[in-house]
Structure 1
Amino acid sequence: MTTKPKVSKFRIRRSASTAPAAGSYGNAAEAQPAPEAQAGHAPGQQAGQKPEPPRDGQIDQTRAEAPGTSIDDIRREGLTGRELRMARRVAQKHGLAPTSDFDAVRLLRARGIDPFQRTTMLELVKGDGAKARDEDRVQLPQTVPAPGHNLPSTETNPADRRAAEIVGIQRDIVKRRRRKMLLLFSRLAAFVILPTFLAGYYFAVMATPMYSSNSAFLILSADGSGGGKGGLGGLLPGQFATGQDAIATQEYLESKDAMLRLDREQDYRAHFSQPWIDPIQRLDPDASTEDLYSLFRNHVKIGYDPTEGVMRMEVIAADPETSVRFNQQLIAYAEERVDELSRDKRDDAVKTAAESLEQAKADRRAAQERLVALQEGSILDPEGEIASIRSLINTVELQLQEKELALSVQNNNPRPNTAKVEALESEINVLRAELERQKRRLTDAASGERSLASKTAAIQMAQADLATADLVLQSALETMRMSEIEANKQVRYLTVSARPVAPQEAAYPKVFENTVLAFLIFSGIYLMISLTASILREQVSS
């Protein structure tokens, strides 16, 4: 068994009794009387009251049609089918019985209802249950508040409630912002402003005033020509081209050696250990050498300008006279250092030449002694000696030849003289022995280690060595003379262009500059710490 579906009907067809007779919308509209006309009296007219007859020239407002309320005018508006169907549904909702869609628009406009209003379209359909609830609901009289005795209602307007919530959120944001700004100012005051104030108070009130004396000096050369000929050396004046000496002097004045010497001679440690100096700048009497050297580097400032060749020195002390005394003492140390450098350069330049000269003298002396020794151990003229031996041999050979001829003549005689023959033979034997002896003598003089020829060659070599030693000695003497001249040209000396003068006002501490610097330092430290904390907080929270 099935039940019939129950739905609300939106389009109800007209019955045959209400259908138009002529079939045209215009005739049907004319045949259908208006609801107000069917009621028998005009709207707003009380029952039982006779209508006032119209006067001449007066139009009956209840029967006159407003512009756009006739069927033809509505058709000329060009309404869509959807709008016409919507107008019919609205007319049926209000209990009207239009004969057509255009008639529905006309009837609704006659009642002052806009058929195309959105709220009207949303209230087209109501379920049967809603109608039953409306009919079954008990209508009780509404309470009217008594004037002067009204109490605040517990119900609030949503717009007012939303505005109140927005105001509360804004107040909370302002409160939170004020709290954060207060915390920020507190941190700034604790980590930046207060330390800066303490630093400024120290520099302005507590710090012991320090006095500085300034001086300037140059290192010049005696010849007026610079050491460097190429590069930038040719662009600089000759007397200023002493950069290496100036740098060496600056390093010496800033060294620990100069500090210890100043402490020994001028009692540098005791000056900065006096009790009237503030505790921060005061030096402990038992301080180490490194602490004293750190104080010395902070209170002695030396600079070198290579373009001008000027060295500028600033010495800081607790009183003006001591500052000038320390400055003058350091200038004296610089002069001694420059003199030592000049003496070292001069000694180095002359030392090599002097050593060469001494070596040349020693070589010549040795060559001469060797020649004398050779001449003492042999004949003065070995070649003449050999010539005399050869001449003697020739003489002996001639005599021997004569004696042999005489002996031959005696032997050819049939009766030779025996005495003459014996005498000739004896002479021949003597001459032969002499000839052999002279030949041996000549042989000994011409060959062997101790021959006259070797002795002659040795003497000649000794004479050549002596001549060479003489030339070397002359060259060494010339080099020595030139080295002395060049050494005298390379002499450096220090000249003071600005001597130190005792100041009348303290130069340190500089209150404003030091306070601003302290503020920047504390601000930078706070900024770094805050950024680091923010980054770490973000990393941990993420």
Structure 2
Amino acid sequence: MTQHAQHELEARLKAYKQEKLAAGDWLNHDILMAKAEKLEYTDPALALRVFQRARVLNPDSKEAQQKIASLNRELKKSNPEVMRSSSKEADAPETVSDAMESAQEVSEPAQAQVPTFTERLVSWLKKPISICVLMPFLLFAFYQVIWASDRFESQAQLIVQQPNGMATLEPAMAMLSGFTGGSGSSDTSLVEAFIYSTDLVEYLQQELDIFAHYNSDEYDIFSRLSASASREDKLDYFKKRVVVEVDQNSKIITVRVQGYTPEFAKTLTETIVDRAEWYINKVGHDLAKAQLAFVQNEHAMVEERLQKAKSEILAFQRKYNLLDPEAEGMALQQIAYGLEAQIANKQAELRALRSSMSESAPMVMQLKEQLDSLRQQLIDERQRLTQDIELTDVSGEMGVNEILANFGNLRMDLEFAVEALASSQVSLEKSRIEAYRQLKYLVVVESPTLPEEAKYPSILYNLSLFLAVILMIFGIGSIIRATVNELQ
């Protein structure tokens, strides 16, 4: 049974060499390894025979030894007869038939026996590591070194500052207003958001036609902007070419702009800085104007209210011909008090006269008449204080008490208007100070630079990163493949 299996294997090997192998392939280690790997899953016994031949040609080949050991373990379980015939061949370098074929091939020209450099190169390029690692790396290196267009980077540094209120105001007012004279994180975020905004991109397109530079055919197709790019694609491309960095400690804003020429990179950086400065100034002035306009309108209303109160008091005084109704009322009260005192004196005198004279005495009669006149005058004065009488020919009829009440209301309105005006003036001054605080300035720390050397592409960094990534992917793929083969 073993002899029959050996003859059958030899027949299959002979037919395989005639049909699948070209002249000289039987002496080429790399070609035999590749052929055997294809037979490994379809005909393990024949693959083992071809691997043994490859090991004879290159005894130091660890790959051939590993393949032979693996197939030996597999054939011991599945086909022990073929394994016993093959094990004999593993001990000897060649079988008799192999030796005869080798002798015949040795007699041919040396060119047919020894693989040429081209054949070895082609065989090596067919290996997985060459296809999956070397070829992509060479293509990427060609792009980075020869094809990729140079990009120059211009840089500018900015900072947002507020005016120093301590230098222009009294110390108490400055501390009350809370001046700091610095810049906050919201200001730097505002500048960053504006630089990345669609409004700035459209402005730059109108002023410099930036996308005509970025999608020019003079530069490589992979780094330039597509001619059919949408507005969103243009904005994304702009964000890749313009980088804004903010130092959280110093609040310094660094703007880095890439261009295919040094002049364009510098011009674009200058335009971005100028427009950002205009935007910051505009925002500060708009906020200050809006806040100040509101307070000024309120102040104008308070002034109008004060003028109205003054006009009403003047009209009231002219109407009743009174400078000070309160003083007029006090005078009337003093007159009434005086009349009462006179009446009391007259009554005392009358009692004294009656004690010594009769009622018909002339002095008693005269004193009675004076007393009646004083009482009537007192009644008239009290009526002026409490009843409606005609004060002047041009005034209406109104009691002094009502005049005092109305005048008190008008004077109270005037006092309220004066106090409101004082408060409004304080608020107006505070609003002016606050409006001054709203003013911000974009200070250029470093002017836009003119680059002399291209910064991108970073050839060494890109090649190293690409090689590391592709080797990692190839290693993972090889591990997965070996695991699958082992499980089969």
Q: What TM-score results when the alignment is normalised by the length of structure 2?
A: 0.56
RMSD of equivalent CA atoms = 5.2
Q: Please give the alpha-carbon distance, in whole angstroms, between the structure 2 residues aligned to 1:250 and 1:307.
A: 16
User: Which of 257, 260, 279 does residue 337 from structure 1 map onto?
Assistant: 279
SS at match of 2:387: helix
Identify the residue that residue 209 of structure 2 maps to in structure 1. 267
Structure 2 letter corresponding to 1:219: V
Structure 1 residues 361 and 444: alpha-carbon distance in aligned structure 2, compared to 1, 3 A threshold: same
Structure 1 residues 442 and 219: alpha-carbon distance in aligned structure 2, compared to 1, 3 A threshold: closer
What are the residue-to-residue correspondences of 1:33-182 with 2, within 5 Å?
174-175=63-64, 177=66
- Kindly, what percent of the aligned residue pairs are identical? 21
Identify the residue that residue 365 of structure 1 maps to in structure 2. 307
Higher helix share: 2
Moved more, 325-334 or 464-473: 464-473
Structure 1 letter corresponding to 2:446: A
Moved more, 350-359 or 260-269: 350-359
Contact 1:214 1:312 (C-alpha < 8 Å) held by counterparts: yes
User: Which of 453, 459, 464 does residue 511 from structure 1 map onto?
Assistant: 459
Structure 1 residues 188 and 444: alpha-carbon distance in aligned structure 2, compared to 1, 3 A threshold: farther
Identify the residue that residue 143 of structure 2 maps to in structure 1. 202
Larger-gyration structure (1/2): 1
Contact 2:284 2:439 (C-alpha < 8 Å) held by counterparts: yes
Contact 1:324 1:502 (C-alpha < 8 Å) held by counterparts: yes
Identify the residue that residue 8 of structure 2 maps to in structure 1. none
Distance apart, 1:317 and its partner CA: 0.9
Structure 1 residues 508 and 359: alpha-carbon distance in aligned structure 2, compared to 1, 3 A threshold: same
Structure 1 residues 284 and 395: alpha-carbon distance in aligned structure 2, compared to 1, 3 A threshold: same
Q: Please give the alpha-carbon distance, in whole angstroms, between the structure 1 residues aligned to 2:432 and 2:308.
A: 27
Distance apart, 1:467 and its partner CA: 2.2
Structure 2 letter corresponding to 1:273: N
User: Which of 307, 313, 334 does residue 255 from structure 2 map onto?
Assistant: 313
Deviations 1:377-407 (A, max 9, x none): 54654665688799999999xxxxxxxxxxx
Identify the residue that residue 58 of structure 1 maps to in structure 2. none
Contact 1:393 1:439 (C-alpha < 8 Å) held by counterparts: no
Deviations 1:400-449 (A, max 9, x none): xxxxxxxxxxxx99xxxxxxxxxxxxxxxxxx999999987765349xx9
User: Which of 477, 481, 489 does residue 429 from structure 2 map onto?
Assistant: 481
Structure 1 residues 488 and 369: alpha-carbon distance in aligned structure 2, compared to 1, 3 A threshold: same
Contact 2:150 2:456 (C-alpha < 8 Å) held by counterparts: yes
Distance apart, 1:453 and its partner CA: 1.8
Distance apart, 1:368 and its partner CA: 2.3
Identify the residue that residue 279 of structure 1 maps to in structure 2. 221
Identify the residue that residue 214 of structure 1 maps to in structure 2. 155
Structure 1 residues 279 and 300: alpha-carbon distance in aligned structure 2, compared to 1, 3 A threshold: same
Q: What TM-score results when the alignment is normalised by the length of structure 1?
A: 0.51
Identify the residue that residue 253 of structure 1 maps to in structure 2. 195
Q: Please give the alpha-carbon distance, in whole angstroms, between the structure 2 residues aligned to 1:216 and 1:297.
A: 18
Which protein, 1 or 2, shows the higher relative CO under an 8 Å CA cutoff with sep ≥ 6? Answer: 2
Matched, 1:346 2:288: yes
Identify the residue that residue 493 of structure 1 maps to in structure 2. 441
User: Which of 392, 407, 410 does residue 459 from structure 1 map onto?
Assistant: 407
Q: Please give the alpha-carbon distance, in whole angstroms, between the structure 1 residues aligned to 2:132 and 2:296.
A: 72
Deviations 1:271-319 (A, max 9, x none): 1121212111232333211111111011001111132332211111111
Moved more, 367-376 or 378-387: 378-387
Q: Please give the alpha-carbon distance, in whole angstroms, between the structure 1 residues aligned to 2:485 and 2:307.
A: 93
For structure 1, list consecutive stretches of 5 or more residues without a partner in the other structure: 1-166, 226-237, 397-411, 414-431
Structure 1 letter corresponding to 2:64: K
Structure 2 letter corresponding to 1:208: S
Q: Please give the alpha-carbon distance, in whole angstroms, between the structure 2 residues aligned to 1:308 and 1:288.
A: 37
Q: Please give the alpha-carbon distance, in whole angstroms, between the structure 2 residues aligned to 1:394 and 1:470.
A: 42
Distance apart, 1:204 and its partner CA: 0.9
Contact 1:193 1:519 (C-alpha < 8 Å) held by counterparts: no
Structure 1 residues 439 and 473: alpha-carbon distance in aligned structure 2, compared to 1, 3 A threshold: closer
Moved more, 212-221 or 385-394: 385-394
Deviations 1:151-194 (A, max 9, x none): xxxxxxxxxxxxxxxx97x96984264699x9998333323332
Distance apart, 1:465 and its partner CA: 2.7
Identify the residue that residue 296 of structure 1 maps to in structure 2. 238
Deviations 1:210-247 (A, max 9, x none): 1111122222232188xxxxxxxxxxxx6554432222
Structure 1 residues 178 and 332: alpha-carbon distance in aligned structure 2, compared to 1, 3 A threshold: farther
Moved more, 293-302 or 195-204: 195-204
Identify the residue that residue 470 of structure 1 maps to in structure 2. 418
Identify the residue that residue 444 of structure 1 maps to in structure 2. 387
Distance apart, 1:462 and its partner CA: 2.0
Aligned residues: 353
Structure 1 residues 367 and 187: alpha-carbon distance in aligned structure 2, compared to 1, 3 A threshold: farther
Q: Please give the alpha-carbon distance, in whole angstroms, between the structure 2 residues aligned to 1:178 and 1:500.
A: 65
Distance apart, 1:341 and its partner CA: 3.3
Structure 1 letter corresponding to 2:467: F
For structure 2, list consecutive stretches of 5 or more residues without a partner in the other structure: 1-50, 57-61, 71-122, 167-179, 344-358, 361-374, 390-396
Structure 2 letter corresponding to 1:200: A
